[in-house]
Structure 1
Amino acid sequence: MHLNWKSKVSLPVYEDATLNAELTELVRAANDDDAFAALLHWAEGKIALDLQELLETHLYAVRDLLDEVPPSSGVRVTTPTWLECRTAHTRLRERLSAEVEAAETLKAQAAEAWHTLRRKTAESHRIRFDRATALDADGLERVGTLHKELSEAATRIDAAFEEHVEACHHLALRDEEFLVFSATPGSIQSHEFDEMTPAEFEKAIAHLTQRDGHRLTRRQGGARDLGADVIAITPDGRKIVFQCKHRQPGGRPLGSPVIQTLNGTARPVHQADIVIAVTNGSFTQPAEELAAEQNIHLLAGLDLRRWAAWGDPLLEVLSLEGAQPS
């Protein structure tokens, strides 16, 4: 026996005598280098296996985080920030999904690193750890790299949630402003539009236009209005022509004939810079397509709610704020 340190470890005893004898002979033949190489082999394997456990825990944790973030389709439509909320949730879910894929890759690479260590030291521990032998980067060096990548992944996830929390906090503050405005007399809710007569609907649109600071030149249409129910002038001199179409709840959507009529008079007759068809109902797809072709703005649904109920300026809703007069 060449080993010269004291040990509390005793040789195992097997039922087979030949096995006991062979094991005893191998131990007697072992020296310090053999024992130290075996210890190094065990230590490397333990480090690699510990990393696999860390990565598996990390993978499950990221999957749980992803499950806790509601899909964008689960974001309720309450205020004008709903689209931004959905975008924020989608962005966070995409980043977490990418981290799940990255964690799965790291876990597979850690397993491969462990198998590499096992294969390279299976035949001779002493050769593997000889001072003259260059260690391969595919072994424990790779495990060290994976540890670093795991730390970087945790940092990325923390950053993703910090950005998400900051974005949602900003949106929550804006939501509060919208909700406060919706409780004021200047806010008109969807159900209030539905309860109006066509004449009251035109007056409401005129009121909202004036609320935005536009100067009214026509408050209500009539038999000879030629498609212009409400006309206003913006502070920068642009003329807005509205055609107002009130619908009873559940009524049929407005079709392309409405757009054709408006297109035939708004600019040629009224010299409109901005042409708007507004309804408390909805528009058909052909009407939407024709309006897009003729540069006519359709105001309904969520856009009408943004303007009427939550107080967003009309030109902002229509993405016309800051546009130059024609």
Structure 2
Amino acid sequence: MTIDRSAAVVPPRFADKTLRKVMGQLISRADDGDLLASFLWVCEGKIARDIHAYLEKHRDRIQRELDYAENRSVIDSCLLAPVDEYYDDIACDTARTMERLLSEAQAFCDLSTKIRRTMSEDYGNTEKIRAKYTRDTEAEPSSLERLIRIWDAHLDATIKVDKALAEDRNRTHAVALLKVVPQMWSGPIAGREVTRGIAPMIHAVEPPRIKGSRRPRSGASG
């Protein structure tokens, strides 16, 4: 490979003579195959890094939702507002779901970290990197392909999180509507107008579910 000093990309001019010599020898021995293999390896590293960042973002989102569900009763208590049993059941159900999804998300992150560490072990090994892309190389799942499978599972997990939060909102909305009805009947609005306005909303949401056993709050005695 010949260096064109007028090109947009050129090797750095190292101050150390030995380093310049070693780098020059490596460059002189490099061919198009080495350049392509190196570029492909860097691209795989970028994709792996991006996937890991998304996995961490997904995990952190679940942690925030778990914290919110667990602290919902505490927040209401601080406001001196009694916590309705229905609302508490909803929060406990959501917290249980988020705990399960958080464990799964953390496993994704741990496996991604392990795979990226394995990939980094080949950093700087130009012969091994070139061999990865040689035409006659035996086909086997690469580290990046393993990460892609984790990514696909992460997409499914994201849907599960969205569905759990949607169910939380629907159940909370249903409880709120059912509690509003008696107040509206006792107000100045005529009963016929109340029925006409509130009935479609009640039928549009899922009614609250009452669980046989509730999730104990943090710090509660057994």
TM-score (norm 1): 0.49
Aligned counterpart, 1:115: 117
Task: Tell me the CA shift for residue 11 of structure 1.
Answer: 1.1
Asked if 2 retains the 8 angstrom alpha-carbon contact of 1:72 and 1:87, the reply is no
Question: Does structure 1 residue 11 correspond to structure 2 residue 11?
Answer: yes
Larger Rg: 1
The answer (yes or no) to whether the contact 1:2–1:30 under 8 Å persists in 2 is: no
CA distances 1:257-281 after superposition (whole Å, capped 9, x unpaired): xxxxxxxxxxxxxxxxxxxxxxxxx
- 1:143 and 1:7 mapped to 2: Cα distance? 36
Which amino acid letter does the alignment assign opposite residue 109 of structure 1? L
State the alpha-carbon separation in 1 of the partners of residues 3 and 13 from structure 2: 20
User: 5+ unaligned residues in a row in structure 1: which ranges?
Assistant: 184-326
The aligned counterpart of 1:29 is 29
Matched, 1:132 2:136: yes
1:145 aligns with 2:145: no
- SS of 2:121's equivalent in the other structure is helix
Query: Identity across aligned pairs (percent)?
Result: 22
Matched, 1:58 2:55: no
Query: Residue 102 of structure 1: CA displacement?
Result: 1.9
Relative distance call for 1:72 and 1:18 in structure 2 (3 A) is closer
Query: Over residues 1-23 of structure 1, what are the superposed CA-to-partner deviations in whole Å (9 max), with x where a residue is unaligned?
Result: 2699x952111122210110110
Bigger helix fraction: 2
Q: Which runs of 4+ in 1 moved over 6 A?
A: none
Deviation of the 1:53 alpha carbon = 1.4
Query: How far did 1:84 drift?
Result: 2.6
Hey, which of these two has a bigger chunk of strand by percent?
1
- Contact persistence 1:106–1:146 (CA under 8 A): yes
Q: Indicate conservation of the 8 Å contact 2:52/2:109, yes or no.
A: yes
One-letter amino acid of the counterpart of residue 108, structure 1: D
Return the TM-score normalized by structure 2: 0.70
Distance 2:38 2:46 in 1: 12
Where does the alignment leave 5 or more consecutive residues of structure 2 unmatched?
188-222
Paired residues for 1:1-326 under 5 Å: 1=1, 7-71=7-71, 73-74=73-74, 77=82, 82-120=84-122, 123=125, 124-137=128-141, 139-179=143-183
Residue matched to 2:200: none
Q: Flag the 1:160–1:145 CA change in 2: closer, same or farther, 3 A.
A: same
> Cα RMSD between the aligned structures?
2.7
Q: What is the Cα deviation at residue 177 of structure 1?
A: 3.2
